[in-house]
Structure 1
Amino acid sequence: MKRMIVCWMQAALFSLILLVGSASCSTDDPILTQPEPEQTVPPVNPDEPDGSDNLDEPGNNDDNNPDDNNPMSNNLKISIGSSSFNATLEDNATVTAFKALLPMTVSMSEMNGNEKYYYLQGSLPTASSNPGTIRTGDLMLYGSSCVVLFYETFSTSYSYTRLGRVDNPSGLASALGSGNVTVTFELQ
């Protein structure tokens, strides 16, 4: 009898492990792996000097112009090689947290022939919903840490938090190319 109870408990434990393991992964996730970030994005407190002269770090600015990197601005400049695009950011908590990370230069990875993505070091607040259709130039957050820049229009069943949209996406697909690309995001 004791042996039967031990066997039953082992079978129950094995079943629970299988159930939890199979429930934690979904085959319909659009991004299957989370690569290690290529850039560490430390939290930035604009009220405290960081003592760094490295202009490539998020939040650093070599100009003393108070209008540069104005956290109240919703005008974003996206630079890709010699091309640049203006975008208008949304007015939400996600964008407020995103703007605190700017300026930043990241290596965005190719996905599905329609988007470039980059995983932030930390999470941003989310308010995700399904847009139904992704438009060329949409800048979205997938999950709480994946910044996605779309360069093709298509229908989607996935949910995103909207960060903003490129004002005139003409030439965006060409500038982004077909592989991984370095992109700079900065407030105007």
Structure 2
Amino acid sequence: MKVRPLSVWSLCFGVLQAFAVPQMSAIAANANTPAERQIWMSVGERRFAVTLADNEAARAFAAQLPLTLDMPDLNGNEKHVKLPKALPANASRPGTIRNGDLMLWGTDTLVVFYLTFESPYSYTRLGRIEDPAALPQVLGRGQVRVTFAKE
């Protein structure tokens, strides 16, 4: 059987498409670079970088920014507040909560954790506060005003 050049070209193009097109669509789907997933949390004069999780809830949270929230203390290890709009939740039980975790409880309660401890509760991960060592001192024990912004 004699193969015509057009058939060989079609075969090569089909193979190229099978491998190249999914890679290009994967690149487009992951256009969320770390810089695009970074937001800021400010408490008084202190500013903390926050790296958002790569999930629908974190993207919906970022879409609400900027937000200035008065966050009361709960249990001596977290600040919490009801958000103006509910977020899509995909909760799971993390077991260990870490200082610097930014989580969603239910669909509309934002939680900033400033101590590490074990928890039986389920949360949707929104992100992680970078360099959280100063959080216990900065957040303190009472209510605190926290601003979340993209810049």
Tell whether the structures are fold-level matches, with TM greater than 0.5. yes
Report the Cα offset of residue 170 of structure 1: 1.5
Higher relative contact order (CA closer than 8 Å, sequence separation 6+):
2
8 A contact 1:74–1:187 mirrored in 2: no
- Structure 2 residue aligned with 1:142: 105
- Structure 2 residue aligned with 1:75: 38
Distance (Å, rounded) in 2 between the aligned partners of 1:123 and 1:115: 20
8 A contact 1:141–1:160 mirrored in 2: yes
Distance (Å, rounded) in 2 between the aligned partners of 1:108 and 1:154: 20
Q: Considering only aligned residues, what root-mean-square deviation do their CA atoms show, in Å? A: 1.0
- In terms of fraction of residues, the more strand-rich structure is 2
Scaled by the length of structure 2, the TM-score of the pair is 0.75
Q: Tell me the number of residue pairs that the alignment of Structure 1 and Structure 2 aligns.
A: 117
Q: Alignment partner for residue 121 of structure 1, among 81, 84, 87?
A: 84
Structure 2 residue runs of 5 or longer lacking an equivalent are: 1-34
Secondary structure, aligned partner of 2:88: coil
* Regions of 4+ moved over 4 Å: none
Distance (Å, rounded) in 1 between the aligned partners of 2:133 and 2:51: 15
Distance (Å, rounded) in 2 between the aligned partners of 1:170 and 1:157: 24
- In terms of fraction of residues, the more helix-rich structure is 2
- Structure 1 residue aligned with 2:75: 112
Larger radius of gyration: 2
Structure 1 residue runs of 5 or longer lacking an equivalent are: 1-71
Q: Alignment partner for residue 56 of structure 2, among 93, 99, 104?
A: 93
Scaled by the length of structure 1, the TM-score of the pair is 0.61
Q: Provide, for residues 3-44 of structure 1, a one-character-per-residue CA deviation record: whole Å limited to 9, x for no partner.
A: xxxxxxxxxxxxxxxxxxxxxxxxxxxxxxxxxxxxxxxxxx
Distance (Å, rounded) in 1 between the aligned partners of 2:84 and 2:62: 14
Q: Percent identity?
A: 48
